[in-house]
Structure 1
């Protein structure tokens, strides 16, 4: 990786404030995105109880509109159409614990009513708030992304400290040559995000990173508001070695690793020694 320079912010700080928040609560030891622990699909009362009583830093949940009356935002992932907890109830419960939250939208229909509910509790939240959606088609993506302009228009009233997690629909198939993130893909999303005032993190699929280093490091270099969030699907196969170029050549405060604990911990113990902490 000769000729690659660290992508860094002054002082090694991420502009979105997530790491500073966790440091202030003594939940992590340094500004390192690999130290952040995640809990997924917190879409039921039982999963929420498990998340808020565990060691998680960020809890992620999916939002859709209930498939029948009363129509309101609920915590569920398609193809589910109902849930035992509404977004309103979920936010009230999270407020008591002040844990970081990532709300993943699967339809435009749910966005505006969800933002209205979120704005009511934001004055009582000091924790990181991330808003996620796939807004462009990415490598191997078959799902239809949300319209980026409609989605972002619904978020304009959110305070600028809210983090926008804006990604691509993707796919991955074992035993085939899976393409990475192309130059057109990173140029397209950067054009959309260039004029935004919010911090932006780009969710990127771990199994596609080895072939995307030049594109994604270029993307980070376009703004100090940008970060990456590395994620994986349960069926994906990748080697932690694929992530080491990012770990060693990008400021450790600018990449989160939303991975199983064993893989995330392995990364937190490797790389980054030459970077700001």
Structure 2
């Protein structure tokens, strides 16, 4: 029949293609209307990927590269507080995590958002995450004790693939200065739970504090944090260090040194209006750090005062200006470590740590005493082993000599150690057996200010424990001095200035140095 109606092959092919085109056209029409109908249905949001960017990158141009523009909702531990924070469109939402009724006989294995002494909340961690992980604000979880950390991390991990905002995990892992209490989340226990995973999170590591009696963060505090991070395998992770605004005075150089060693920021916090905050210290802090490396979680009144003067560096005090005048200019020195694998030299932007004879600081050019020379500085000592109560560490300054490859400089050695003992002696100087010593008195803070005056071949070395601030140079307070007239035989002039730590049990931290 088909062959009779379409007798030739040409006719048959033409009919076949007409039928195929009709089918294709009908199929396309069906697909088109089906597509239009499906697009009218409510769409589920695309599954976001886990955020691995920091807060500045996440908020892009909104913050203008300045942590001062970052706003916080603090202690967001109830549904009402959370909804208020979301309505306010703050950049960061901070909340505290404990077990329900933690520490009582009614304790439940249920992480909730609460800050002791409150032990109950209408907001569980699971609810908090459900409300925030698809939102527009960074979330910061502050673990008040170690008990809830393990289960909380499991809950976070279950929703990790759906998190599209930056996440900070915080705990006070080290005991702070003064009479701060011991940590309730020990360092190794907290970090070990994070070290093998949670790479999408910023780890926030702090010290316990007592802001009623604020004292500065010390070199020992930042060194303990440094060694903790280095020993637990998180040195390449994104970090932030929460620090009390009330404790910034005489702490800024120490905190800056710590941050320089990691991909890290500072988070400056104030828990209540009762915590006295010196606005000039906030301004000085801002002058020492890049603007995108500091976040401010301050009380509204403090924040308002600070915003008005944040970029007014005329607010800096004379102590701040002196601190800058005497900061160590590392561009004028050669930093030498004879053992290439040695970690004895820890250099900051304006401080130098010396440990043992292998690490030396050598002047870039030779100097001469044809005119008067004055070397003024400040040195702090800390033990390498925190448990070590009795250790020896000393700053040695060599003049009229030269450097040797065997780590034994020659010349006249002027030194002070952590007990306050001062020495002027000749080292490897032919025909000289000079040795003079004196006690400058022990410093409670293990810090000393020193002066070395050289006029011709007359050398006077003075030192004292500072009366007030260790890291701000001032006139020596009741100094002890050693003065001697040298025999020029065997001495070099001009010569390189050489500084090192003569003992290896502790660090000599050179934090102020000026030569005139």
Instruction: Name the TM tier (shorter chain).
Output: 0.7 to 0.9
Residue 21, structure 1, aligned to residue 58, structure 2 = yes
Residue 220, structure 1, aligned to residue 252, structure 2 = no
Q: Tell me which of the two structures has the higher relative contact order, counting C-alpha pairs closer than 8 angstroms and 6 or more residues apart.
A: 1
* Contact 2:268–2:298 (CA under 8 A) maintained in structure 1: yes
Q: 2:285 aligns with which of 226, 246, 250?
A: 246
Q: 1:65 aligns with which of 99, 114, 121?
A: 99
Q: 1:168 aligns with which of 207, 212, 224?
A: 207
Q: CA deviation at 1:208?
A: 0.9
Q: 2:76 aligns with which of 30, 42, 53?
A: 42
Q: CA deviation at 1:167?
A: 0.3
Superposed CA deviations along residues 128-175 of structure 1, whole A, max 9, x for unmatched, are 10000000011235333111101111123433231111000011236x
Q: CA deviation at 1:95?
A: 2.5
Identify unmatched segments of 5+ residues in structure 1: 1-14
**Residue aligned with 1:132, SS:** strand
Q: CA deviation at 1:227?
A: 1.2
* Contact 1:231–1:258 (CA under 8 A) maintained in structure 2: yes
Superposed CA deviations along residues 181-218 of structure 1, whole A, max 9, x for unmatched, are 01000000011123313211111111111211221111
The aligned residue for residue 237 of structure 1 is 276
Aligned residues: 252
User: 2:122 and 2:179 mapped to 1: Cα distance?
Assistant: 30
Q: CA deviation at 1:124?
A: 1.2
Identify unmatched segments of 5+ residues in structure 2: 1-51, 314-516
* Contact 1:210–1:243 (CA under 8 A) maintained in structure 2: no
Normalising by the residue count of structure 2, what TM-score does the alignment of the two structures yield? 0.46
Q: CA deviation at 1:266?
A: 5.1
Q: CA deviation at 1:239?
A: 2.2
Residue 85, structure 1, aligned to residue 126, structure 2 = no
* Contact 2:89–2:137 (CA under 8 A) maintained in structure 1: no
* Contact 2:74–2:95 (CA under 8 A) maintained in structure 1: yes
Q: How does 1:80-229 map to 2 (within 5 A)?
A: 80-145=118-183, 146-173=185-212, 178-194=214-230, 195-196=233-234, 197-223=236-262, 225-229=263-267
Q: CA deviation at 1:40?
A: 0.8
**Residue aligned with 1:164, SS:** strand
Identify if the C-alpha distance between structure 1 residues 187 and 85 changes in structure 2 by more than 3 Å, giving closer, same or farther: same
Q: Which is higher, the Rg of structure 1 or of structure 2?
A: 2
User: 2:167 and 2:312 mapped to 1: Cα distance?
Assistant: 26
User: 1:31 and 1:168 mapped to 2: Cα distance?
Assistant: 27
Identify if the C-alpha distance between structure 1 residues 141 and 170 changes in structure 2 by more than 3 Å, giving closer, same or farther: farther
**Residue aligned with 2:195, SS:** coil
Q: 1:76 aligns with which of 94, 101, 114?
A: 114
The aligned residue for residue 311 of structure 2 is 271
Q: Which moved more, 1:89-98 or 1:260-269?
A: 260-269
* Contact 2:140–2:169 (CA under 8 A) maintained in structure 1: yes
**Residue aligned with 2:122, SS:** coil
Q: Which has the higher helix share?
A: 1
Identify if the C-alpha distance between structure 1 residues 58 and 220 changes in structure 2 by more than 3 Å, giving closer, same or farther: same
Q: CA deviation at 1:70?
A: 4.5
Q: Which has the higher strand share?
A: 2
* Contact 1:73–1:114 (CA under 8 A) maintained in structure 2: yes
**Residue aligned with 1:109, SS:** coil
* Contact 2:226–2:258 (CA under 8 A) maintained in structure 1: yes
**Residue aligned with 2:225, SS:** helix
User: 2:67 and 2:284 mapped to 1: Cα distance?
Assistant: 15
Runs of 4+ in 1 over 4 A off after TM superposition: 265-269
Superposed CA deviations along residues 236-265 of structure 1, whole A, max 9, x for unmatched, are 012211111111121111111111345435
Normalising by the residue count of structure 1, what TM-score does the alignment of the two structures yield? 0.84
Identify if the C-alpha distance between structure 1 residues 218 and 77 changes in structure 2 by more than 3 Å, giving closer, same or farther: same
User: 2:179 and 2:119 mapped to 1: Cα distance?
Assistant: 23
